């Protein structure tokens, strides 16, 4: 138990550059306070003491804004950064050295009994506002992007983004766990691929049109009409596409 508490304390200095000294961490870090309260409540829960563990959980929720059911199993070195609005369900299992940001929900999906909450592996990062729902298996070294909703199992060494969460493999790439904002944009990649495909098809259509025999006057009139009517719109659409692909409005 002492080694676990020591790991809970030391991990804050490793992962939070704002941590200045031990007194500040103990008195001003709700994530650490919630973890400490939970470890005591979980011990009482395991020995079968009724009501008291839930009362400790409720008091911790009132003081820190972090709700952890006393039945949840939390490994050593888990850091809940800021933590307001974090909800961790009864049968949740969190591996060692996980990093959880504010607004995260590790919850269930209904009134099923038994194991109904997710299991997180070691060194998992769950971004702000992410939801992991159901009896899911989240592998080691997984990063879940902010605002993602995870409804399926995630293998190890992957990144999950989007609603619903989509797995983006990052094998062989070492990622700093604190860089939870540095995530691939799978939607932009798909749109970029579609734009490339459209351009390819447009080029094919133009090549087919050139093969047709038209009189010089009809071709000239058609070209001038299309340029005068469509060029401003095409330029506007091209600009909108470029702005979208570079992140405007996303």
pLDDT along the chain (250 residues), means of 10: 85 86 89 94 93 94 94 93 92 94 90 88 92 93 90 89 78 52 61 79 81 59 54 53 54
42/80 same-domain check:
yes
Is 179 inside any structural domain?
no
Q: Around 14, how many Cα atoms within 13 Å sit in the side-chain half-sphere?
A: 15
Q: How much is the pLDDT for 4?
A: 86
105/220 same-domain check:
no
79/136 same-domain check:
yes
Is 177 inside any structural domain?
no
100/211 same-domain check:
no
Q: How much is the pLDDT for 199?
A: 82
138/219 same-domain check:
no
Work out how many domains the chain is built from and give that number. 2
161/194 same-domain check:
no
Q: How much is the pLDDT for 164?
A: 82
Each as own residue / partner, the long-range contacts of residues 105-108 (CB below 8 Å, 24 or more positions apart, any chain) are 105/130, 105/131, 105/132, 105/133, 106/72, 106/132, 107/131, 107/132, 107/133, 108/133, 108/134, 108/135
Peptide bond into 141 cis (omega under 30): no
88/194 same-domain check:
no
| 228 Cβ contact list (under 8 Å, min separation 6) | none
146/93 same-domain check:
yes
| 166 Cβ contact list (under 8 Å, min separation 6) | 160, 186
Domain that holds residue 227: 186-245
Is 178 inside any structural domain?
no
Q: How much is the pLDDT for 189?
A: 66
Element (H, E) at 168: strand 166-169
Is 175 inside any structural domain?
no
150/200 same-domain check:
no
In this prediction the pTM is 0.70
Task: Tokens for 207, please give them.
Answer: 């090549």
Cα-based distances in Å from 3 to 7, 9, 76, 77, 121: 6, 10, 8, 10, 19
Is 181 inside any structural domain?
no
Q: How much is the pLDDT for 206?
A: 81
Q: How much is the pLDDT for 233?
A: 47
Task: Tokens for 52, please give them.
Answer: 């008291």
| 172 Cβ contact list (under 8 Å, min separation 6) | none
């Amino acid at each position: 138990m002492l080694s676990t508490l020591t790991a809970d304390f030391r991990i804050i200095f490793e992962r939070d550059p704002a941590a200045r000294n031990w007194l500040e961490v103990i008195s001003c870090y709700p994530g650490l306070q919630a973890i400490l309260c939970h470890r005591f409540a979980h011990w009482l829960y395991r020995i079968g003491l009724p009501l008291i563990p839930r009362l400790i959980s409720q008091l911790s929720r009132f003081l820190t804004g972090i709700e952890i059911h006393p039945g949840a199993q939390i490994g050593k070195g888990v850091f809940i950064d800021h933590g307001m609005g974090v909800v961790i369900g009864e049968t949740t299992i969190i591996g060692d050295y996980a990093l959880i940001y504010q607004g995260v929900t590790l919850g269930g999906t209904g009134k099923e009994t038994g194991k109904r909450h997710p299991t997180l592996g070691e060194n998992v990062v769950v971004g702000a506002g992410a939801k992991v729902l159901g009896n899911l298996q989240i592998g080691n070294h997984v990063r879940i992007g902010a605002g993602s909703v995870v409804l399926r199992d995630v293998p190890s060494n992957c990144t999950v983004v989007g609603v619903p969460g989509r797995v983006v493999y990052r094998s062989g790439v070492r990622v700093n766990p604190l860089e939870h904002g540095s995530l691939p944009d799978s939607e932009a990649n798909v749109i970029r691929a579609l734009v490339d495909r459209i351009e390819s098809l447009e080029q094919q259509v133009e090549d087919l049109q050139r093969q047709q025999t038209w009189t010089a006057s009809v071709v000239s009139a058609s070209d001038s009409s299309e340029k005068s009517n469509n060029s401003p719109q095409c330029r506007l659409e091209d600009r909108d596409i470029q702005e979208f692909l570079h992140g405007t409005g996303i």
